[in-house]
Amino acid sequence: MHPSPRRRRVLAALPVLLLTALLAPAASASPAAPETPEPARIVLVLDLSGSMNENDAGGRTRLAAAKQAVTRIIETAPEQAPLGLRVYGATYPGQDKKQGCADTQQVLPVAAMDRAARADAKKRVEGFTAAGFTPIGVYLREAAKDLGTTGNRRIVLVSDGEDTCAPPPPCDVARELKAQGVDLAVDVVGFRTPSSARTQLKCIADVTGGSYADAQDADSLTGNLGTLFRKGWRTYQATGKPVSGSLNGCQDAPLVAPGQYLDKFTGGRDLYYKVKKRTDQRLQVSATAVAEQGYGRGSMITVAAGPPGDGQPRAWLREFDQSMGWANVITTGGRSKPGSGNDEPAPDDTGCIIVENDVTKSGDKPMPVELLVGIADATTQQAGARTPEPRTGADAEGGFSFNSATPIGPGTHRQSIAVGEAPFWRVELKAGQKLTVKAGVDIPADFPHATTAGWGVTVYNAQREAAQCNTDHNLTELIRGRTGRIERVCGPWEITEGDDTKSSASKGYDVPGTYYIQAQVAEPGDKAKGVLVPISLTVDVSGTPRPGNGPVFFFGDDATQGKAPSAANGDGTQSGTGGATAAARDDGRSVGEIALWAGAGAGVLLLCGIAVRVLLRRRAA
């Protein structure tokens, strides 16, 4: 028997004072599993004043650019996320100030974006015209009324100029709302705004705890709006077919076929599942636990599988991942070794999967767990290759989970992200190819720095476990008051085909298939939450794919999206729930979706983005 090697994530030492400040409180605190919050109620307020007719937005009118950006928001809004739309300056083209300054309308009430609401909203946006005044203060009050008085609420404002109707001054209205105890934030995108208007709009965002971003053309407006809306809706989107693993061992466990499932950790209990696997088949099991605020130091998730019997099943595979700081995602996975001589047979070909829970403890709240199960055999080996079409431009904005990771190809991709966001991209790789990832961020001069702010990039392999970034083992770059361009480079790493002779030498790149890339500006303090920063992601794939037939894993029909079965991909590329779902747009329409958003530190960057991790492979005990 040849069990898979274990992989462990370990953090290198930080400076003593910083380490003491960060880790001492966590040593005695048990990691808390948060409740799943409801998606934020958001109302988008669009400036349709006469100046939006100017033709200076990248060769088109500002109005046309705004229509494109708003339509994109409507198309990508999760069905469960309540969204409303209000406009001002849209109907009165005259000069009467009293009448013009009352010109604001609720176009769409705040409601879930189901298919009918989405179609209606897009039709209404297409008919927008720009005509009149800019009553920013007036519409802030009205938009707050649109959202009601309870729950997580945000206003997202797009404006190209100063308020032309004061009083009331817009920033005073923002202070007024805060003074009334109204718990809502106002995010603002200044669209080709002059400096005087920018000061006014930034004040609105600052006093309400929102974010401000500039946009100069249609693409930057679309990107910045998308970032602001994602910040309110989710950070990691956990998806899968609902399942309840046994808490009492393999004998009571449900049988899982290839596919992705959504379960939860409760208390400190492990999860068990039955799985069918012959000795001529290979099994992949990946598990991802998701928290809102992060894990305590020492939290660990382990996946193992093997024939049921005495002790824990582990004869087929065992992999684990450990956090020594605060991570919002702990993920790991493994594959059984090829060939019947490497596998212990199971009675009736029915084995057992265990996801060991060293994350939550008794009394903790439930925590979402994704379980991905795949099988490779001669049947899947004959399936035709199917990979998603890479996206470019605004369509290449990162998604917010493994399943919604955006497919990209070689080249440079640009967007803005909010501090605390951790978007995902995916790229298909074959044995013999080399991957290099260069991620850059532009830190503005007015960035609210803290000692622990950092810029990081993480690469995950097709088993959904973190691979090493570079030879100095650093995943993050401490910002430490720096401004301007900061870059992190992972690779070049050659993709190999894993076997028994390789251990730590592969650094996690011994699994051909779908690789995931995640980038983040991590900042533990509230001051920087939501600050927008432009980033770039450059992916280079070189080398010649090695001839031969790698394992082809089938991850089931696309159950989480309710679509027809898809073909398994060649050379280890994932398909079905593991691949086709990953290629699907981040439209939030998955069965069992749980919308989670974090503060700073979302994603897998440990110690709020400042930790240094080393990946070690060890033989299972």
Tens of pLDDT, residue by residue over 466-494, are 899 887 666 677 777 788 999 999 999 99
CA–CA separation, 407 vs 424, rounded Å? 9
Instruction: Report how far apart, in Å, the C-alpha atoms of 456 and of each of 17, 207, 325, 567, 612 are.
Output: 22, 29, 15, 34, 10
Residue 83 near residue 51, CB atoms below 8 Å: no
Look up residue 264 and give its two tokens.
């939860």
Assign domain 6-35+238-374 to its CATH architecture: Sandwich (2.60)
Q: Which residue type does 246 have?
A: S
pLDDT in tens, 404-425: 899 999 999 998 887 777 889 9
> Between residues 26 and 408, which one has the greater pLDDT?
408
Compare 508 and 383 and report the one with higher pLDDT: 508
Strands 241-242 and 259-265: parallel
Give the pLDDT of residue 118: 86
Question: What CATH architecture applies to the domain 41-233?
Answer: 3-Layer(aba) Sandwich (3.40)
Q: Please say if the pLDDT value at position 300 is more than 80.
A: yes
**DSSP for residue 19:** H
For residue 93, what pLDDT band results from cuts at 50, 70 and 90? confident
At 277, the pLDDT band (50, 70, 90 cuts) reads very high
pLDDT for the residue numbered 75? 79
Q: State the pLDDT at residue 602.
A: 34
Residues 6 or more apart whose Cβ sits within 8 Å of residue 75: 118, 122, 587
Is the per-residue pLDDT at 37 higher than 50? Answer: no
Note the helical H segments in 148-217. 170-179, 195-208
CA diameter of the chain:
86
Partnered with residue 440 across adjacent β-strands are 487, 536
Q: Residue 360's pLDDT band (boundaries 50, 70, 90)?
A: confident
Q: Specify the residue for token string 């040849």.
A: 2
DSSP label of 609: G
Are the CB atoms for 510 and 504 separated by under 8 Å?
no
Check residues 155 and 417 and name the one with the higher pLDDT. 155
41-233 matches 389-553+564-618 in fold: no
The model's confidence at residue 603, banded by pLDDT at 50, 70 and 90, is very low
Which of the residue ranges 94-103, 134-143, 213-222 would you say has the lowest mean pLDDT? 213-222
In this prediction the pTM is 0.65
Strand partners, 11: 613
Query: 473: which residues sit within 8 A by CB, 6+ positions away?
Result: 12, 612, 613, 614
Parse the chain into domains and list their residue ranges: 6-35+238-374, 41-233, 389-553+564-618
Quote the Cα angle for 204-152-29, to 5°.
Answer: 110
- In angstroms, the Cα distances linking 362 to 249, 293, 301, 325, 359 are 18, 18, 16, 20, 10
**pLDDT at residue 566, rounded to an integer:** 30
Dist. CA 104–CA 102, nearest whole Å = 6
For residue 608, the model assigns a pLDDT of 32
413 in Cβ contact with 395 (< 8 Å):
no
220 compared with 29, residue with greater pLDDT? 220
Instruction: Please tell me the predicted confidence (pLDDT) of residue 384.
Output: 52
pLDDT range class, residue 100, cuts 50, 70, 90: confident
What pLDDT is recorded for position 276?
A: 95
Taking the C-alpha atoms of residue 415 and residue 421, their distance in angstroms, rounded to an integer, is 12
Least reliable range by pLDDT among 29-38, 193-202, 472-481: 29-38
pLDDT at 282: 93
Mean pLDDT confidence for 5-27: 32
Q: What pLDDT, on the 0 to 100 scale, is given for residue 285?
A: 97
Evaluate if residue 434 carries a pLDDT over 90: yes
Distance separating alpha carbons of residues 509 and 102, to the nearest angstrom? 61
C-alpha of 611 from chain center: 20
| Amino acid type, 303 | V
Q: Which of 39-53, 172-186, 400-414 has the lowest mean pLDDT?
A: 172-186
Confidence of residue 213 (pLDDT cuts 50, 70, 90): confident
pLDDT in the model for residue 328: 73
- Average pLDDT over every residue of 44-68: 85
- Pick the closest to residue 236 from 400, 397, 39 (CA basis): 400
Q: How far apart are CA 106 and CA 121, in angstroms?
A: 12
- Residue in the structure block whose two tokens are 């702010």: 453
Please provide the CATH number assigned to the domain covering 389-553+564-618: 2.60.120.380
What are the DSSP calls for 200-245, one per residue? Answer: HHHHHHHHHT--EEEE-SHHHHHHHHHHHHHHHH-SEEE--EE---
- Give 475 or 45, the one with higher predicted confidence: 45
pLDDT on residue 236 = 77
Mean predicted lDDT score pLDDT of the chain:
76
Determine how many CB atoms are found less than 10 A away from the CB of residue 472: 8
pLDDT surpasses 50 at 45: yes
Among 235-244, 281-290, 502-511, 524-533, which range has the highest average pLDDT? 281-290
Q: Is the pLDDT higher at 30 or at 435?
A: 435
pLDDT surpassing 90 at residue 215 = no
Residue 191 DSSP symbol: E
Helix axes 136-147, 170-179, angle to 10 degrees: 30
Exposure string of 400-438, with b = 16+ CB inside 10 Å and e = fewer, is: bbbbbbbbbeeeebbbbbbbbbbbbbbbbbbbbbbbebb
Percent of the chain with pLDDT over 70: 73
Q: What does the buried/exposed string (b/e) look like for 583-617 if buried means 16 or more CB atoms within 10 Å of the residue's CB?
A: bbebbbbbebbbbbbbbbbbbbbbbbbbbbbebeb
* Section 146-160 average pLDDT: 84
Q: What three-state secondary structure class fits 457?
A: strand
Is the CA virtual torsion 572, 578, 579, 580 positive or negative?
positive
The predicted structure's pLDDT at residue 340: 57
| Among 22-26, 156-160, 163-167, 199-203, the least confident range | 22-26
- Indicate the range of 253-257, 422-426, 615-619 predicted with least confidence: 615-619
**What confidence score (pLDDT) does residue 474 get?**
62
Give the per-residue pLDDT at 444.
Answer: 84
Q: Please count the residues of the chain.
A: 621
β-bridge partners, 41: 153
> What percentage of the chain reaches a pLDDT higher than 90?
28
